[in-house]
Amino acid sequence: MVKHTEDISFSLDNGSGVPVYRQIINQIENAVVSGRMATGNRLPTIRSLAVNLKINPNTIAKAYNELEIRGVVQTQVGSGTYIADKRPEVADARQKKLREAAERFLQEAGELGAEKDEIIKLMEDI
């Protein structure tokens, strides 16, 4: 039985320099490794997402296509795009991605001269 959930939302940042299609890829991968999207869940259609995010359908198609190449999703022609079978690394992947995100942030915080105290205080405040 194929589930039809579409409970994923995207937030794009146009000024960050990160290509839009990669932001989409990242957010889908994050949803997968965090367990919010699981095997068999359906992704939004290219068209609906294009309308939602106000971007060109080609951009989303490119993201889905790359995710398919990586084995994260599978496309069923005429039906939609689905999260692929769980692969073993998923559990590790979340930790890895979380740690990488933390390191990117700490790198930048370090450049801004923030010490551990200030950073943790900031985390607690927000």
55 binds, among its own copies, DNA, none (CB under 5 to 8 A by kind): DNA
Q: How far apart are CA 11 and CA 53, in angstroms?
A: 8
Shortest distance, CB of residue 117 to DNA, whole angstroms? 34
Shortest distance, CB of residue 86 to its own copies, whole angstroms? 16
Which residue type occupies 11? S
Interface with DNA (CB under 7 A), residue from 75, 84, 90, 119: 75
Pairing state between β 73-76 and 80-83: antiparallel
Structure tokens at 98: 């979380």
Cross-strand pairs, 56: none
- Return the SS3 of 81: strand
Residue 36 in the binding site for its own copies (CB under 8 A): yes
Shortest distance, CB of residue 22 to its own copies, whole angstroms? 5
111 binds, among DNA, its own copies, none (CB under 5 to 8 A by kind): its own copies
The alpha-helical segments, DSSP class H, found in 34-115 are 46-53, 57-69, 90-111
Q: Note the maximum CA span of the chain.
A: 53
31 binds, among its own copies, DNA, none (CB under 5 to 8 A by kind): its own copies
Length of the chain counted residue by residue: 126
90 binds, among its own copies, DNA, none (CB under 5 to 8 A by kind): none
Of 46-54, 83-91, 97-105, the segment contacting its own copies by CB under 8 A is: 97-105
